[in-house]
Structure 1
Amino acid sequence: MIRVVLVAFAVLFSGLAAAEVADVYNFEDSRQEQRYQTLISELRCPKCQNQNIADSNSPISKDMREEVYQMMKQGASNEAIVEALVARFGEFVRYKPQFDSRTFLLWATPAIAVFGGLLVVAGVVIRSRRAGPDAPALSEEEKARVDKMLAAHKHDRAS
């Protein structure tokens, strides 16, 4: 019985031993803290798969959070902070990349897809209008099959 209790305590408190200490930063006011939270939630971890640095536990994210905090303390603007991190880690750290010649296709793809879809729909509509009354009618065999299906459906609904 004592072994069971000891194992239960070991399992219960092992999570606490492995828990990581959260970053603790002192801010002058809640506006500055909100600015910090916004910045770290808008920057992507270069190591993690589509995770911002606010939610990531990787060492590089911790370094990035520290750098954001230090630059804020030095009075840097949001743009200067983001540009410094982009210069250090690459354009990948932005969730919303800037529009330039390298990111043109990234920004244009949704518009191209919508335009392509509209062209396909227009083609289908035009083709169906042209085929209108000239479309082949059902053969006698197909008509008999449809009538049989409709009769079976009516019989099932009546039951």
Structure 2
Amino acid sequence: MDRDSTIIELCQQGHSAGFARLVAAYQERVFRTAYTYVQNREDAQDLTQEVFLRTVRAIDSLDTARPLWPWLRRVTTNLALNLLKSRKEHLSLEQLPESALPAGAADEPAWTLLDLTRALAELPPLWRIVVTLRHQEDLSYEEIARLTELPVGTVKTYLFRARRLLRDRLATREE
């Protein structure tokens, strides 16, 4: 029996050790994902707590044969999207000034992790989520579209524009 199925079964049987294992196994990953999306420590902590509360409420419906992380990622992403939308931080392509989109592709610079983290934080929230799902979580365009409830074409456009903007901002930092 693998770790996730053991955790789910213990939680379903009402053992506190199951919940402790769930939190120990996934708290850091859920927090990092939430923080990447919302760029605020307190909000990420609140989202992390809410993810685990929702997990406990839904534990009886979880399948022991399936891994937990995809389900936790979906809950984390949905909660983050809801928070960002409630704050009207959802920025569409039409709202982004044309000057924010670089005209030409820069040579790929030698970036530091700090530079990349800062540049990622400057992206519009939905772009940041799409980039994170593609490059950190290695999801396909179709999986990202399902998770964010965006058309596949919009996911591709957000990724294209976000990559260009990241490249431009990182190239500017290097100069």
- Alignment TM-score > 0.5, same fold: no
TM-score by length of 1: 0.35
Higher RCO (C-alpha 8 Å, min separation 6): 2
Higher helix share: 2
TM-score by length of 2: 0.33
Larger radius of gyration: 1
